Structure 1
């Protein structure tokens, strides 16, 4: 095996984005798992998109409803990176919840439960923080925390399979706003 830089054994050069940073361009499935080159995959979420909080919540909810929590996580990650510093923990917690659902749907129940609880703690901490908002950007934090804790409990005790679309949270609860 050679240690010299160069093409991978597949004959491909390392994937890079427009700025020259290493970026894996392999197609991915709906849960974000890499597929072999040349396989049809699910369209990836563009990175670095600046959206309003309402646009972020709506887009993430549509992705969650479609069973694509990995892609919803990327929307939340954009919001945490581009939003106001005071809201970073909220968006980061939402991203952790989406990744927790991703891991659970991929069959990693232990890691999924851990991330769901971490995300619930993060959004719960934000709820109790200086703003003390119960529904920031219309997100029903109390219901979201209940959802995460219930799913994590199921993963720890009996549930071994998760359908990401069927078990996706409703970010705004039953509210229409």
Structure 2
């Protein structure tokens, strides 16, 4: 039996955004700081801590970030091209529900970066992933 995911409407997102607490917002910032220094698994873990306790529909927002970070972890550490494709694709699909922005995150820029790098990596092997310049990985984007 397939699992059907639920995604919030924009009106639901806006209504829920105001109730996101300081601890979740701090975890979001912590994950972003880790992401920016290439510690993608640690960013994944920081966001997963929020995701695990979030009971509402916006769990999918955090899960999208988690999957993007895990995709880049597969790129930089485990060097699994298939994992890169699957996780970046799944993360982008979830984050698309929150574009152009949510909780201060420039979601569209995150989607654009992950999609661009996913396309660049398509069809390449682990050696190519390993040789890819680390300074070309994206930074986390916040809304102005």
Larger CA Rg, structure 1 vs 2 = 1
Instruction: Give the distance between the partners of 2:87 and 2:107, measured in 1 at CA.
Output: 16
Cα offset, 1:81, TM superposition: 1.2
TM-score (norm 1): 0.60
**Aligned CA-pair RMSD:** 2.2
Aligned pair count?
A: 119
* 1:117 and 1:152 in contact (8 A); partners too: yes
2:38 aligned residue: 67
The structure 1 segments of at least 4 consecutive aligned residues displaced by more than 6 Å after TM superposition are: none
Q: What runs of 5+ residues in structure 1 fail to find an aligned partner?
A: 1-49, 128-132
Structure 1 or 2: larger helix share? 2
Alpha-carbon distance change, 51 to 104 in structure 1, aligned in 2, over 3 angstroms? farther
Instruction: Summarize the alignment of residues 79-158 of structure 1 with structure 2, pairs less than 5 Å apart.
Output: 79-106=50-77, 107-124=79-96, 126-127=97-98, 134-158=100-124
Cα offset, 1:77, TM superposition: 0.7
Cα offset, 1:56, TM superposition: 1.9
1:78 aligned residue: 49
1:121-175 CA-to-partner distances (Å, cap 9, x unmatched) read 0111x32xxxxx6321111111111111111111114552345665133231xx4
* 1:105 and 1:163 in contact (8 A); partners too: no
TM-score (norm 2): 0.72
Instruction: Give the distance between the partners of 1:63 and 1:164, measured in 2 at CA.
Output: 14
Instruction: Give the distance between the partners of 1:115 and 1:52, measured in 2 at CA.
Output: 26
Q: 1:169 aligns with which of 131, 139, 142?
A: 139
* 1:123 and 1:141 in contact (8 A); partners too: yes
Higher relative contact order (CA 8 A, sep 6+): 2
